[in-house]
Amino acid sequence: MRLTETASASWLRRAVATAALVVLVGYGVLWLAARAIRPYQEWSKSVECRRNIHILVRGFNMYADDYDGRYLPAERWEDCVEPYAPPKYRRCPSAAPDAAGAGYAADLARSGAERIKLDDESMAALLYDSAQSVRNAAGRQQDMPVPGRHITRRRQERASVRGNWIGYADGSCRLKPDHNPGP
107, part of any domain: yes
Q: What is the pLDDT of residue 4?
A: 60
Where helices occur in 67-88 by DSSP H, the ranges are 77-81
Nearest to 127 by CA among 67, 66, 85, 68: 85
3, part of any domain: no
Q: What is the pLDDT of residue 61?
A: 93
179 HSE (CA, 13 A, CB side): 4
Note whether 110 and 143 are within 8 A (CB): no
- Residue 27 makes CB contacts below 8 A (sequence gap 6+) with none
Note whether 164 and 144 are within 8 A (CB): yes
Q: Is 33's pLDDT higher than 80?
A: no
Q: Quick one: pLDDT band at residue 7, thresholds 50, 70, 90?
A: low
38, part of any domain: no
**Full domain range(s) for residue 117:** 43-177
Share of the chain above pLDDT 70, in %: 86
Total domains present in the chain: 1
14, part of any domain: no
1, part of any domain: no
Residues 57-98 have pLDDT tens digits of 999 999 999 999 999 999 999 999 999 998 888 888 888 777
Instruction: Report yes or no on whether pTM surpasses 0.75.
Output: no
37, part of any domain: no
171, part of any domain: yes
User: 155 or 111: which carries more pLDDT confidence?
Assistant: 111
13, part of any domain: no
Note whether 174 and 165 are within 8 A (CB): yes
